[in-house]
Amino acid sequence: QVKLVESGGGSVQAGGSLRLSCAASGLTVSRRCMGWFRQAPGKERERVAVILVGSGSIYYADSVKGRFTISLDNAVNTLYLQMNTLKSEDTAMYYCAASTMLYVRACPSRPGDYVWGQGTQVTVSS
């Protein structure tokens, strides 16, 4: 059974940093798309950063490029999202995601192609 457990969310002032962690179990991460999505109140869930494990391919949403960094520690099956220079518009529930299928070239963008953790709240005050 796939289990994704997020941690590291919280409240921070604009310009600050947070690091999210996601402990993954019950799945093989090689060739799997692992990433972070977020959902703000009244908005659709959006893709933030996704890595295709084993390929070096990484996707970042334009809104977070240069500020967020996704990484994976294979030894402990833990996914991270380092978030720097946070803005109020980054406020959202952040979800760790793992693709339901394995991929070779590119990761899917649809939320329906992923399984989710329970989410961790990030609140950025201006």
Lookup: tokens for 43: 């908005």
**Which tens digit of pLDDT belongs to each residue from 38-69?**
999 999 999 999 999 998 899 999 999 999 99
Our CA angle for 113, 8, 97, nearest 5°, is 5
Place of tokens 């060739």: 31
Asked whether residue 85 carries a pLDDT value surpassing 90, the answer given is yes
Higher pLDDT, 37 or 1: 37
Average pLDDT estimate for 112-126: 96
95 pLDDT band, cuts 50/70/90, is: very high
Return the pLDDT at 56: 80
35 Cβ partners below 8 Å, 6+ apart? 47, 48, 49, 50, 51, 59, 70, 79, 96, 97, 107, 114
Average pLDDT estimate for 92-111: 94
